[in-house]
Amino acid sequence: MASNNSENKMEKIVSLCKRRGFVFPSSEIYNGFPAVYDYGSYGVELANNIKIAWWKSMTQYRQDVVGLDSAIFMSPKIWEASGHVKGFSDPLTECRKCHSRLRLDSLLEEAGVFADEKMSEEEINEIFNQNKDKIKCPNCGAQDFTPGKSFNLLVKSNLGNFTGDWSKEPAYLRGETCQGIYVNYKNVLDSARVKIPFGIAQIGKAFRNEITARQFIFRTREFEQMEMQYFIKPDTQEKYYNEWKEARWKFYLDLGIKEENLKWHKHENLVFYAKEAYDIEYNFPFGFKELEGIHARGNYDLNQHSKFSGKDLTYLDPSDNSRFLPNIVETSAGVGRTFLAVLSDAYCEEGEGENFRVVLKISAKLAPVKIAVFPLLKNKPELVAKAKEVFDVLKFDWKCEFDDNGNIGKRYRRQDEIGTPYCLTVDFESLENNDVTLRDRDSMKQERIKIDDLAEYFKKNI
Ligand code: GAP
């Protein structure tokens, strides 16, 4: 039975992701590896399409943002300068009964008590003590916890440490991609013919030792970020901050996400250097949660890297010969969270009984497969040959899938479940008229269209 508001929508999405090859739990044949996921054949297409849309919106549709791909490993000094070695932590508590390790701010939030990840250890423990009677362990129900302690989220490695003593100077797996942008700011400035205001965009993996990782791909220990840092003259911060807020909101609408499922969240408890910070939140099946952060960071990052490296990172403005340390407006989104938002937004159940279908109403530009091509019958070589011909014409411009398995109704359902916007069927009439039946995913309407007109049709509609 169809139910779009069903409480177990999340379970249905997780199950669809596994069944249809979008997302698999990591290392499954070895009983899994917590909070890490792999993207399957359709998942990698969807994730790539999201990244392409972001990359184009940053580096192709505008003149003032250039790309970068910096390495995951960087000098450990970078993480000292950025404040991550000392301050990048979440409050951790342990259930004394079942020994689950839990995030204290999340426990408080679930009990309806406001707590913020930016609170000090003392502050959060004080709130914890005042509300102990309201908090239960989500695994065993006990109410006996150790006091909260700050737990650093940076992931250490032993890269390049041949003495075996890596506690002295560990190489970290980067905790965010933007540090690679800050430390390359001068290189880009000197090589890319850019002038302030300009931005540097990067997509790449980041790693965090998340304490509790639930909610599927929403919070994982290995994930991908799409970050852009915009370097500006200090007195222009408000103007560019507002422009970027608007641009980022529009990005999600352009992906086809329903506006009623997006909202702004203003950070009240700012880190000391931040001038302003908003999140764009999405209405996930488990409620409104952060999709992307847009931060006015002042000149904190370049100032820190200048101090720690001893290098001058100021900018000489050719228009008036003034010299200043640029301020930064940051936009920081997660690929996995956007992926989950797109799936949540697109997941629909329609019809009853034999007409029941699960359909992903994903925008054509993000759909993993754009066009499916079917011969009506697989045991008719002339139909198979004609369908292959159609496939071979279209495959150079669009991701197509050839399917000759099962009855046509079943093939439509399979494509609906992965969000394919168009299906083409080659039948006996096709051999005479050089046309196909084109079936639209959302309306399920069918029309006949000449094979010679297909390219024009898809150019217009995809
Ligand atoms: N450079 C700023 C920064 O990293 P953040 O709020 O920690 O800010 C930015 O992260 C975005 O990265 C988030 O809005 C989210 O989309 C994504 N993200 C952060 N931690 C994540 C995690 N553990 N799993 C998946 N995505 C995550």
Say if 57 falls within a structural domain: yes
Residue 213 — very low, low, confident or very high, per pLDDT cuts 50/70/90?
A: confident
State yes or no: pLDDT of 1 exceeds 60.
no
Do 33 and 97 belong together in one domain?
no
Specify the residue with its C-alpha closest to ligand 1, atom 12.
334
Do 133 and 36 belong together in one domain?
no
Do 59 and 126 belong together in one domain?
no
Give dist(CA 21, CA 29) in Å, integer: 16
Do 395 and 341 belong together in one domain?
no
Question: Ligand 1 center to residue 149 CA distance, Å?
Answer: 22
Q: What is the CATH number of the domain that holds 141?
A: 3.30.40.230
Specify the residue with its C-alpha closest to ligand 1, atom 17.
334
Closest ligand 1 atom, CA of 334? Answer: 16
Say if 82 falls within a structural domain: no
Whether residue 302 contacts residue 218, with contact meaning beta carbons closer than 8 Å, is answered with no
Specify the residue with its C-alpha closest to ligand 1, atom 10.
332
Give dist(CA 179, CA 170) in Å, integer: 17
Do 242 and 104 belong together in one domain?
no
pLDDT tens digits for 351-371? 999 899 999 999 999 999 999
Question: Ligand 1 center to residue 221 CA distance, Å?
Answer: 11
Do 47 and 178 belong together in one domain?
yes
Question: Ligand 1 center to residue 334 CA distance, Å?
Answer: 6
Average of per-residue pLDDT values in the chain: 94
In this prediction, residue 297 carries a pLDDT of: 94
Question: Which of 78, 332, 339 gets mutated to test ligand 1 (max ligand atoms within 8 A of its CB)?
Answer: 332
- Range(s) of the domain holding residue 399: 369-461
Q: Which residues of 386-421 are buried (b: 16+ CB within 10 A; e: fewer)?
A: bbeebbeebeeebbbbbbbeeebeebbebbbbbbbb
Amino acid at position 333, single letter: A
Name the more confident of 143 and 6: 143
Question: Which of 105, 106, 200, 223 gets mutated to test ligand 1 (max ligand atoms within 8 A of its CB)?
Answer: 223
Do 338 and 401 belong together in one domain?
no
Handedness of CA 12, 260, 287, 213 (dihedral sign): positive
pLDDT above 90 covers what percent of the chain?
82
Specify the residue with its C-alpha closest to ligand 1, atom 24.
219
Last residue of a domain, one of 313, 329, 345: 345
pLDDT above 70 covers what percent of the chain?
97
Token couple for 345: 């937004």
Do 337 and 285 belong together in one domain?
yes
Q: What is the CATH number of the domain that holds 300?
A: 3.30.930.10
Pocket of ligand 1 (CB under 6 A): 176, 178, 208, 210, 219-220, 223, 225, 227, 290-293, 330, 332-334, 336-337
Q: How many domains does the chain have?
A: 3
Burial of 319 (0-12, 13-18, 19+ CB in 10 A): exposed
Say if 184 falls within a structural domain: yes
Handedness of CA 214, 216, 221, 227 (dihedral sign): negative
Token couple for 405: 């398995």
Do 63 and 107 belong together in one domain?
no
Question: Ligand 1 center to residue 421 CA distance, Å?
Answer: 31
Amino acid at position 206, single letter: A
In this prediction, residue 7 carries a pLDDT of: 57
Token couple for 219: 């919070």
pLDDT tens digits for 112-121? 887 766 678 8
pTM: 0.94
Do 324 and 373 belong together in one domain?
no
Closest ligand 1 atom, CA of 175? Answer: 4
